[in-house]
Amino acid sequence: MTYEDFLHSLEREDAPLELSVQLQALWYDRKGDWKRAHDLIDHLEDRTSAHVHAYLHRVEGDAWNARYWYNRAQQPVFEGALEDEWEALLKLLLN
């Protein structure tokens, strides 16, 4: 799926089934369903999921929890706007 295809898929009611769980989390976050996005990755232990998890806790406004998950992901804390982080994560995951 391309970046443009992903953005276009946001017009749908549900996330495309072919998306990875991390991309589904970003999809539901963008649709305004933070809880569903978080529930998709909350139980996962891999570094990619931890990275998305960190972003979601930034969205929530829980900086302490976000730092914890950035550490688990072995990623620096993102200092830019949430929109910029969402886009960067999306592009990273689509590659």
Give the DSSP letter of residue 20.
-
Percent of the chain with pLDDT over 70: 100
Quick one: pLDDT at residue 92? Answer: 96
Tell me which residue range forms the domain holding 48: 3-94
Please tell me the number of Cα atoms within 13 Å of 80 on its side-chain side: 7
Confidence of residue 20 (pLDDT cuts 50, 70, 90): very high
pLDDT in tens, 42-86: 999 999 999 999 999 999 999 999 999 999 999 999 999 999 999
Rounded mean pLDDT, 18-45: 97
For the chain, the average pLDDT equals 96
Give dist(CA 40, CA 42) in Å, integer.
Answer: 6
State how many domains the chain has: 1
- 79 by Cβ neighbours in 10 Å (0-12 / 13-18 / 19+) ranks as exposed
Give residue 56's Cα distance to chain centre. Answer: 6
